[in-house]
Chains A and B, each alone.
Chain A
Amino acid sequence: MSKARLMQGNEACAEGALAAGVKFYAGYPITPSTEIAEIMAEKLPLIGGTFIQMEDEIGSMAAIIGASLTGAKALTATSGPGFSLKQENLGFAIATEVPCVLVNVQRAGPSTGLPTSPAQADVMQARWGTHGDHPIIALCPSSVQECYELTVKAFNFAEEFRQPVIMLMDEVVGHLREKVVLPESVEIVGRKKPSVSPDEYIPYENNESRIPAMANFGDGYRYHVTGLTHGENGLPTGKPAVAEKYLERLMRKLDPYLDRIQRYEEILLEDAELIVVAYGGPARSALEAVHAARSEGLNVGFFRPITIWPFPQDALERYADRRFLVPEMNSGQLVGEIERVVGRRQVERFNRIDGELITPDQILTRIQEVMIHV
């Protein structure tokens, strides 16, 4: 039977990771994500897993990559300042295609910022924080239930696609307590193991699925892993043709799977003249404001990207003839993507950067300004 429980977002994230089969956690204390580390410290040794508190954020990211190479599902969690430090080895995990999940419970920045008021400050850092061209997946929960479900999903995506996945939470959902219903079992996807003998194994094979099979260190498939641009055999290369082939596959590896990766929620869009696009904690305020506006007779709809990266642009583009309002707890980050998809002239912004949650009233007022007063 499913169990209903009162739970905090960070706790639900940790429970989701355990349900997904996490076996290794390395982390460094930082508010507002620390609860995840604390739960892992308590629970992992009980299930034969390993928790280690590393000397810094950089080392934490390194350690989970090392653990993942031995076959363990691996997790770390942090917030803005730590997310900056994790970028170096996040890039390494992307380049070497090592599955792992990195939770960022966002707080207000820049720098140390407002510890620890909520914000959606790292949307673009999640996309482009580490240097060089690269693919990324970032998921953004709006509820405690979704913290659980998306963490499971994050592990599944990480393992299936050999791809680091970012859980882009915010302090609002991380510290929110509400009811969750934990399912009795969840769908779990493991990484694809080589089906050939060690002699025939090509660790970075450019195969049809675009996702090479991954052997664990220690299982007899000896191969090389390097952050240097490498060929299909894993060895570094300086040859332009080999480099291009590797990067082409890396950059397009998620393309065949976008239908499954790009998740979003659509409410009241059919006749909507104005669509409020919101994500994470503020999406809760936005949805309430949309319903309030409807009760005033305003034709307003709601679009919530759950997958922030890769941004679900095809889904949004279907509404390119409408107007848009994008409330964000930053100075305007995801709005740039929406403008890119539907055009700048149709898009209004609403930004709050004082470390307080955007309220439904504020969004409703903005809806009224846009629809009535203009």
Chain B
Amino acid sequence: MFSDIAQYFRTEALPHIWCPGCGIGTITAAIVRSIKTLQLDQNKVVIVSGIGCSSRMPGYLDFNTLHTTHGRALAFATGIKASRPELDVFVIMGDGDASAIGGNHFIHAARRNIDLTAIIINNSIYGMTGGQSSPMTPHDKRATTSPYGNLERPFQILEVAKAAGATYGARATAFHNQLLTKLIVNAYNNPGFSVVETISQCPVAYGRRNKFKTPADMLLWQKEHGISAGRKELGAEDFLIGEIFKAEAPEYTQEYAKLRQRLKGE
């Protein structure tokens, strides 16, 4: 199962740090399979991440990999892409990383429509620090810093992305792994800022506080509540999966290249 993508892993960096039952491993496989499907040159792929469980992923992958500071992955990635647009830049972030401390970088990367493929692994919790609520923890759910249930309302991160100017938004889950692979391929092919939200499970820091007895229960929850558009009316816990929005807009590095060209003519 692993052998088809082993060439993309730094096997010397394994075993990984993720807990048993965590969704990040299968999501990692989907990301790598999408890169394989796209037949991208391994030497031209850059994977950037922030801080958190999911942000440890690049260390295990055999590309040009950059594990940055908390929330800043998109700002680093912007420097890479703007400086060398021919590189294929993927950005891995967690929900807290992308939407709390990195929220400002997120909306501005979207506004610029810079050609980055951003994958947000949303497990509804700060896992690495032991289970604190994030801006994407659902209302009323429990975390160590919301022991009586989360008072706040969560971000709908794809709506944020769309409003800020991103040109591709999609959602899948750790369970819907083949769909996820397809969506990452499509996100990469969009020439602009693309966001793939991936609902994942954190059985250790989130599940056990929120009535999920096993990791399998969380995957079944994803299966049950992740709904393709038009399949049925969405219930309270349901969410759409698949492509959520697409748009066309000028891409930042292409605009900058045009500016250089125009100045040459003057």
Tell me whether A66 and B80 are in contact (CB under 8 A): yes
Tell me whether A55 and B64 are in contact (CB under 8 A): no
Contact pick for B79, options A55, A64, A88, A236, CB 8 Å? A64
A222 at the interface (CB under 8 A from B): yes
A59 to chain B: which residues have CB within 8 Å?
72, 75, 78, 104-105, 108
Given contacts A45-B263, A222-B43, A222-B64, contact A50 B59 (CB under 8 A): no
A72 to chain B: which residues have CB within 8 Å?
83-84
Tell me whether A46 and B79 are in contact (CB under 8 A): no
B44 to chain A: which residues have CB within 8 Å?
218
Contact pick for A222, options B42, B77, B107, B256, CB 8 Å? B42
Tell me whether B83 and A70 are in contact (CB under 8 A): yes
Tell me whether B78 and A63 are in contact (CB under 8 A): yes
Tell me whether A224 and B59 are in contact (CB under 8 A): yes
**Closest residue of B by beta carbon distance from A46:** B263
CB B157 to nearest CB in A, in angstroms, measures 17
A56 at the interface (CB under 8 A from B): yes
B146 to chain A: which residues have CB within 8 Å?
none
Tell me whether A48 and B87 are in contact (CB under 8 A): no
B107 to chain A: which residues have CB within 8 Å?
55
Tell me whether B263 and A52 are in contact (CB under 8 A): no
A228 to B56 Cα, complex, angstroms: 10
CB A48 to nearest CB in B, in angstroms, measures 6
A220 to chain B: which residues have CB within 8 Å?
43
Tell me whether A63 and B87 are in contact (CB under 8 A): no
A217 to B43 Cα, complex, angstroms: 8
Contact pick for B59, options A24, A45, A236, CB 8 Å? A236
B:248-265 near A, CB below 8 Å: 256, 259-260, 263
**Interface size band for B:** 35 or more
Contact pick for B108, options A55, A219, A224, CB 8 Å? A55
A:219-249 near B, CB below 8 Å: 219-220, 222-228, 233, 235-236
**Closest residue of A by beta carbon distance from B72:** A62
What DSSP secondary structure best describes chain B's contact surface? helix
B226 at the interface (CB under 8 A from A): no
B63 at the interface (CB under 8 A from A): yes
A69 at the interface (CB under 8 A from B): yes
CB A30 to nearest CB in B, in angstroms, measures 16
Tell me whether A69 and B66 are in contact (CB under 8 A): yes
CB B97 to nearest CB in A, in angstroms, measures 13
A62 to B13 Cα, complex, angstroms: 25
Number of residue pairs spanning A and B whose beta carbons lie under 8 angstroms apart: 137
A23 at the interface (CB under 8 A from B): yes
Tell me whether B68 and A92 are in contact (CB under 8 A): yes
Tell me whether B68 and A62 are in contact (CB under 8 A): yes
B263 to chain A: which residues have CB within 8 Å?
45-46
B42 to chain A: which residues have CB within 8 Å?
222
A64 to chain B: which residues have CB within 8 Å?
79
Contact pick for B68, options A68, A223, A227, CB 8 Å? A227
Interface flags, A55-78, vs B, CB<8A=1, else 0: 110111011111111111010000
Contact pick for A217, options B84, B256, B260, CB 8 Å? B84
**Closest residue of B by beta carbon distance from A62:** B75
**Closest residue of A by beta carbon distance from B256:** A50
Tell me whether B59 and A226 are in contact (CB under 8 A): yes
Q: Give B contacts to A, CB under 8 Å.
A: 10, 12-13, 42-44, 46, 48, 58-59, 62-69, 72, 75-84, 86-87, 104-105, 107-108, 256, 259-260, 263
The 8 nearest A-B residue pairs measured at CB:
A66-B79, A63-B79, A62-B75, A59-B75, A67-B83, A226-B67, A55-B108, A217-B64
Q: List 29 A-B contacts (CB under 8 A).
A: A45-B256, A45-B259, A46-B260, A54-B78, A55-B107, A55-B108, A59-B108, A60-B75, A62-B75, A65-B76, A66-B77, A66-B80, A66-B81, A66-B83, A67-B79, A67-B80, A69-B64, A70-B84, A88-B72, A89-B72, A92-B68, A217-B64, A218-B44, A218-B86, A222-B65, A223-B64, A225-B66, A226-B59, A226-B66
